[in-house]
């Protein structure tokens, strides 16, 4: 049961990071239109603190409570690596290659990535952190050894 909870918390962390990126982007647009930058600056600070707290909680769940569950570590590693690489691919693959790399199926994701999610967004950094948590999960000794 703890393994399912860990996977659910990973998905919720990614979803919340995605939502916080969208919220900060909305605050940025409102600040540029109304020239009121105070909510934008405090919104960034609050979003960063919330994501950092989620990372600490996720690390605690993964590394102390799970005691080195190998398949959960593998899921964390693969999901984090694929999401991080997918975002980078969406932003860097040349237009001439997109025809034979099935990029037409991900057109909406690419437009969204270019609009609010970037290489240094909370979503991408959370995915990279999840990937490293999965890698660290392989190094944590198993319970009973």
- Model confidence at 17: pLDDT above 80: yes
Q: Where does 1-143 have alpha helices with state H?
A: 2-34, 38-60, 70-92, 107-115, 122-139
- With contact defined as beta carbons under 8 Å apart, do 90 and 109 qualify? yes
The model's pLDDT over 104-118, given as tens digits with 9 standing for 90+, comes to 666 666 666 666 777
Among candidate residues 140, 130, 128, the one with its CA nearest the CA of residue 57: 130
The model's pLDDT over 30-57, given as tens digits with 9 standing for 90+, comes to 999 999 999 999 999 999 999 999 999 9
Mean pLDDT of 65-74: 81
Considering the entire predicted model, what is its pTM? 0.86
């Amino acid at each position: 049961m703890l393994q399912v909870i860990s996977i659910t918390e990973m998905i919720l962390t990614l979803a919340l990071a995605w939502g916080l990126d969208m919220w900060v982007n909305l605050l940025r647009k409102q600040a540029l239109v109304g020239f009121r930058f105070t909510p934008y600056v405090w919104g960034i600070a609050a979003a960063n603190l919330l994501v950092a707290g989620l990372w600490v909680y996720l690390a605690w769940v993964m590394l102390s409570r799970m005691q080195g569950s190998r398949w959960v570590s593998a899921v964390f590693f693969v999901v984090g690596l694929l999401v991080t690489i997918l975002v980078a691919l969406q932003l860097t693959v040349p237009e001439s290659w997109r025809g034979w790399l099935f990029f037409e199926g991900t057109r909406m994701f690419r437009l969204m990535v270019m609009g609010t999610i970037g290489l240094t967004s909370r979503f991408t950094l959370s995915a990279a952190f999840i990937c490293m948590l999965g890698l660290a999960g392989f190094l944590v000794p198993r319970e009973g050894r």
